[in-house]
Structure formats: C-alpha cells, structure tokens
Amino acid sequence: MPRYKTKTNKKEVIIMEKTPTVVPKEKPPRPKYNMWQSAWYMLRLSIREKEKKVPILCTATALLAVASNLISLAITPVILGAVENRSPLGTLFGLIGIFVLSGMVVNAAAEYVSVNSLYGRITVRTAIITKLNTKMATTSYPNAEFDEKFLKMQAKAQQAVSSNSEATEAIWNTLTSLLQNVLGFLVYLALLSSVNPLLILVVTGASLLGYFINKPLGEYGYRHREEEGKLSKTLMYYFTCAESAGMAKDIRLFGIRPWLEELYAKTLKAYQAFHRRAHNVYIWGSVADLVLAFLRNAFVYAYLIRLMLAGNLSVSLFLLYFTAAGSFSGWVTGILNTLLTMHRQGLDLSTVRECLEYPEPFRFEEGESLEPDPDRAYELSLEDVSFRYPEADKDILSHISLTLHPGEKLAVVGLNGAGKTTLVKLLCGLLDPTHGRVLLDGRDIRDYNRRDYYRMFSAVFQDFSLLAVTIAANVAQTEDSIDMPRVRDCIGKAGLTEKIESLPKQYEEKMCRDVYENAVMLSGGETQRLMLARALYKNAPFVMLDEPTAALDPLAEANLYSKYHEMTRGRSSVYISHRLASTRFCDRILLIEDGRIAEEGTHEGLLAKGGRYAELFEVQSRYYRESETPSQ
C-alpha cells in the first residue's frame, strides 16, 4: 500500500492512502434493573419503611383523576341532551347541581390525598439517602478512595435523591399517572367500542409509533451518566472549596478567587453544554410527537364529522364521541409518555440500586469474627507484600516483608512519596496488597470480618476529622456512656489538659464552627494532640501514628517523645516520620526507598553503618545546625 512521509513537530508521521479503520464505539452499559423491577423495589421499600399509605394514596389519586375527567366529559353532552329532550327547567338545574357538586367533592378529595401523600414520599426518599450515606461510610476503603467507577456511580445516585423532582420521589407521580392513564384508557375503550374499530387502531398505532421513536432517545442520559456524574462532582468540589473555612486563608493570601471562579465557570459551561446536547436529543422526540399527533387527530376528527353529517349521530352524541375520541388519544399518549418517563426514572433508580449493591472487595459480616484484646500480645506481619494503585505504572511498595513483634515500637522513615502511609494502610487493613499477604498471628487478615479487624487499631493520620460535638465526645467517639476519667487521662497523656481545663465549659465545649457559632477553635498542634487522645482512648492492641507531630513546635514535639513510651506501653506501635531525629526512641527503624526496605536497624546502628539513613540524618541535622547559627 502506498504511503507518504512528512514531519510535524520533529516527529515523523506516516500518511496512508487508505482511509483509517473507524474503531467501533463501545456499547453503553445496560442497566442492571428494568423499570418494572425499579418500581417494585420502591413499592417494597415503602412497605419496609412503614409508609404503605404512599401506594394506597397513589391509587386513590389515579381513581379521583379519572372520576374528575369523566365528570368533565359527561357534563356538556348530558345537559345538551336534556335541552334537546325539552326537560323541565328544574331537572336541568338539578343535573347542573349534581355535576358541580360531584366535581367539587372529587377535586377536594384529590387535593387532600395529594397533600397527605407528600410526606410519605419524602420519608421513602430519605430512607434511600440514608442507605447511600451508609454505603459510602461502610464500603471497603478502596471503593471510597480511588474506585472511579464507584465514585461516579455514587455521584449520580446522590443526584437521583437530591430533590423532590428526582427519580426516587418523582417515580410515585409517574406510577400514579400510569395507573390513571390505564384506567382512563379502559373506560374510554369501553365507551368507544360502538365506534369503528379502525378509529381505535389508528389512535393506538400512532401513539405506539411515537413511543418507539422516543424510547431510545430517552436513554441518552443513562448512556452518558458517567460524564454527567463527573461534571456534577467537579462542580460540587469547586463550590465546596469556595465556601470552605480551610481554604479561606489561601483564597485571600494567594489571590486564588479568580482562579477558582474560572475553574467553576469552565466546569459549569461544560455541564450546561452536556444538558444542551441532551435537550437537543429529546427535542427530536417532541417533534415526532407533534407530527404524529396532528395526523392522528386529523383522522379522528374527519371520521366523526362524517358520521355527524351523515345523520348517524345526534348533536349530544357527536359531542360525547368527539370529546371521548380526543381524550382516548390522550390516554394512549399518556400511557406511552408515562412509560418513557418511567423508563428514564428506572435508569436512575437502577443506578441507585447498583451503587447500593456495588461489590465489596473486603469481607465483612461473612468473615470470621475477631474480638480485640488490648492485653494480649499480637504479632502483625507482611509477607512479600506489593501494592500498586489503579492506573499506576509501577508498585508503590514492592516485595516488603516485615514483622511487628508484640510490644515493639517500629519507626518507618523515608522521603515523601516513598510509600510510608500506604504501608500503614496495608497494616490497618484499609488496603489489601496486590501481591502477598498481611498476617495477624500467622492468619491472613482477609479471612476476618474487616470491621472487627479495624478495631485492632488506634490511628492518627495526617488528615483527620472533627465532629460537631463536645471535646469529650470527639475523644470518646460517642455521646453515650463516656468514661470521663479515661477521657481526662488520655487528654493528660497527650499534653492537652491545661488548654482544655482553661475553657469555660472544659470538656463539654462544642467543636466545629460550621455548626456551632461559639465553638472552640484549637490550633493545629492542639488538634493533633486531641487526635492522639482519641487514639489512646480506643485502647486498641496496635497504635499507628502517621506524622503525629507535624503540627507541633520542637518543644512540644520533644515533650511528646518523652511520653511516647508511657502512651504506648504494652502495645505494638508504628510511628511514621520524615524527621529522622524523632525515631531514636523506637526499637527498630525501617528506611523505605523506591518501594522497598532500604535499611533496617536502631538509630545508633544505622548511623554507625554510614548508609542512606546516616546520609539523610546528616542533611537534616546540618539544616537544623545552620538554622540555629546566629546571623552575623
């Protein structure tokens, strides 16, 4: 095959004469549940949530709507028929009164039912919100941390529960409308049974054609739900950044407000463009409906006018059939349009259910139970462990083998990005190795209920969370049955007693000003000490400290080191730091470099060895010596 060469940006490009093969687009994922399964799920959920009145009131609403329609249909032909038959004036006014009173009663009942059904629908949607929040809070850590498929699905599911108009609540209106249209269709079908069946076939056929045109168009949103979910998540992220108290200083000092606004505006523009594309797709379905409705109604009206002109219909019957034929068309169209709406809502509900049922890589209740004993001597080890994050081109940790002996204090040091925090997450069971095993007393931790295994650890990570509760509750991680002597003891060991007891309400001071206006504000170092107190309160067999002194000044850090033995007495502990001087009190030090254990030993032994640890220690100590030299 002939080909030609050219150069662009110093790269050789081969241009083929033949048109390149078009790679077929990947088929969009099919929903796990269809619309009927989704509707049945909502019905079952309403019963489980003790809101049986929701489907009952939906049925009542549909019946009342059909009754109101029949009253409107019959009133004019009946009164016109009475006039044609020269009925007495009293009879005429009596008929009008009956219809008016019936309409008032039916409409009042419909309004009452509508208002009272709202609260139950909100309760059912709230139950789904609770399920989604519980899923996010209890799912396996890798799902919540870096599983993009789950995170996009979760964003789309959260959108589906975000308002009354979303699928998890609007489905009740759709089911009501479907029932209403089906009942109306059956009633009007019986009413028009004496008319030419061709009339009914034309109306039904045109409506079905419109349905099959609109059905694939209605799936556009589901096929592109990941794109929409990503944009929605990004928008919410920038919005949260703008109002975050944690970013307030950066926004002002670095002047990043215009940058944030630009990023938000670009994402919003992309989000709006997505919805414009979706609406452009949907509008073609509306055009098809308009054309089909015109042709359908033209045939119906022409046929009925012909019957009237031929003298086969009285004026009152003409009016009845004329109105009934139009309404019959509306019932058929209503059924099919409702099915389209229900199909789209079913896609959203399927996404919600798929999110709730997303597979868990860890074993929980099905795993073997484990009851931590803080007084027992446990041994924790890594056996030829490697770990690689999704989409990464190499392992962050490679073939690590180590044993944390009972009561041992282990320090893990290394440069940023060496894998120190990943190592702790593997030990804690937050991550499973991509190769090798994590063993507790020789047993693979994957055999255990992972939630039970988590109870084996007290940990302080670099990023931590404070709840809008009291200081005591933040330490105890509960508001019930708080052991206050123990809280005070842990606060004391963490070196925070003087600060807390200087506050007006002491341990009962509220935290988090996002919720409480007068909440106490602790400094970064004080907050880190509070997290240490929380870790001590848990009294787990293992203590994991990931840079616990990062926000402390040198004096506070030295004070904490002096208490470290007391704080972790009788328990195994792993201490991560990039400050090598802070590791001298540990029994053993590991230097992690290039994903492997580069060196291992005591502080003095590693310095005597003169290797990489000694080199890094010399660099750090020289920096501190230079920084302490008075300026000349």
Residue 484 has pLDDT above 90, yes or no: yes
DSSP 359: P
Residue 330 has pLDDT above 80, yes or no: no
Task: Give the CA count within 13 Å in the CB-facing half-sphere of 197.
Answer: 0
Residue 529 has pLDDT above 80, yes or no: yes
Mean pLDDT of all residues in 138-158? 91
pLDDT above 90 coverage of the chain, percent: 34
- Distances from the Cα of 512 to the Cα of 100, 246, 465, 470, 520, angstroms: 59, 12, 10, 9, 7
Residue 4 has pLDDT above 50, yes or no: no
Residue 124 has pLDDT above 90, yes or no: yes
Per-residue confidence (pLDDT) for residue 592, from 0 to 100: 92
Sign of the Cα pseudo-torsion (119, 345, 126, 182, in order): positive
Residue 21 has pLDDT above 60, yes or no: no
Per-residue confidence (pLDDT) for residue 326, from 0 to 100: 66
Residue 559 has pLDDT above 80, yes or no: no
Per-residue confidence (pLDDT) for residue 444, from 0 to 100: 95
Residue of higher predicted confidence among 476 and 632: 476
Contact 46/34 with Cβ under 8 angstroms?
Answer: no
- The pair of three-digit structure tokens given for residue 318, joined into one six-digit string: 């003409």
Per-residue confidence (pLDDT) for residue 523, from 0 to 100: 82
Give the number of other Cβ atoms within 10 Å of residue 582's Cβ.
Answer: 21
277: helix, coil or strand? helix
Per-residue confidence (pLDDT) for residue 11, from 0 to 100: 41
Mean pLDDT of all residues in 217-242? 76
Per-residue confidence (pLDDT) for residue 526, from 0 to 100: 84
Task: Give the DSSP H/E element, type plus range, for residue 491.
Answer: helix 484-493
Residue of higher predicted confidence among 283 and 269: 269
- Please report which confidence band the pLDDT of residue 554 belongs to, taking 50, 70 and 90 as the band edges: low
Per-residue confidence (pLDDT) for residue 314, from 0 to 100: 66
How big is the chain, counted in residues? 632
- What pLDDT, in 10s, does the model give residues 371-394? 988 888 899 999 999 999 988 889
DSSP 468: S
- Please report which confidence band the pLDDT of residue 428 belongs to, taking 50, 70 and 90 as the band edges: very high
Per-residue confidence (pLDDT) for residue 558, from 0 to 100: 62
| Closest CA relative to residue 165, chosen from 229, 122, 217 | 122
- What pLDDT, in 10s, does the model give residues 47-93? 998 898 999 999 999 999 888 888 877 777 777 677 767 778 787 78
380: helix, coil or strand? strand
DSSP 449: -
Which residues, in sequence order, are bridge partners of residue 470? 510
Residue 630 has pLDDT above 80, yes or no: no
- As a whole number of angstroms, the distance between CA 491 and CA 493 comes to 6
Burial of 331 (0-12, 13-18, 19+ CB in 10 A): buried
Residue 366 has pLDDT above 50, yes or no: yes
Sign of the Cα pseudo-torsion (571, 576, 582, 587, in order): positive
From 144-158, 183-197, 529-543, the region with the lowest mean pLDDT:
183-197
Per-residue confidence (pLDDT) for residue 15, from 0 to 100: 37
Per-residue confidence (pLDDT) for residue 579, from 0 to 100: 73
Per-residue confidence (pLDDT) for residue 599, from 0 to 100: 92
Per-residue confidence (pLDDT) for residue 618, from 0 to 100: 85
DSSP 91: H
Mean pLDDT of all residues in 491-514? 89
Which residues, in sequence order, are bridge partners of residue 542? 457, 572
Per-residue confidence (pLDDT) for residue 10, from 0 to 100: 40
Per-residue confidence (pLDDT) for residue 377, from 0 to 100: 87
User: CA-based Rg of the chain, rounded to a whole angstrom?
Assistant: 35
Mean pLDDT of all residues in 622-626? 60
Burial of 136 (0-12, 13-18, 19+ CB in 10 A): middle
Mean pLDDT of all residues in 324-341? 78
- As a whole number of angstroms, the distance between CA 404 and CA 401 comes to 10
Mean pLDDT of all residues in 141-156? 90
- The pair of three-digit structure tokens given for residue 408, joined into one six-digit string: 């041992």
| Residue whose tokens read 């509960």 | 478
- As a whole number of angstroms, the distance between CA 257 and CA 246 comes to 14
- As a whole number of angstroms, the distance between CA 410 and CA 542 comes to 11
Task: Give the DSSP H/E element, type plus range, for residue 544.
Answer: strand 542-546
Mean pLDDT of all residues in 166-193? 88
Per-residue confidence (pLDDT) for residue 253, from 0 to 100: 77
DSSP string, 199-260: HHHHHHHHHHHHHHHHHHHHTHHHHTHHHHHHHHHHHHHHHHHHH-GGGHHHHHHTT-HHHH
Which residues, in sequence order, are bridge partners of residue 397? 387
| Long-range contacts from 93-100, C-beta under 8 angstroms, 24+ separation | 99/71, 99/74, 99/75
- Please report which confidence band the pLDDT of residue 557 belongs to, taking 50, 70 and 90 as the band edges: low
| Closest CA relative to residue 155, chosen from 126, 134, 132, 171 | 132
- Please report which confidence band the pLDDT of residue 14 belongs to, taking 50, 70 and 90 as the band edges: very low
From 226-230, 277-281, 547-551, the region with the lowest mean pLDDT:
547-551
- As a whole number of angstroms, the distance between CA 158 and CA 449 comes to 28
DSSP 141: H
- As a whole number of angstroms, the distance between CA 46 and CA 194 comes to 42
From 252-266, 306-320, 498-512, the region with the lowest mean pLDDT:
306-320
| Residue whose tokens read 């789309």 | 156
Per-residue confidence (pLDDT) for residue 398, from 0 to 100: 93
Residue 596 has pLDDT above 50, yes or no: yes
Name the average pLDDT for the chain.
82
Contact 542/378 with Cβ under 8 angstroms?
Answer: yes
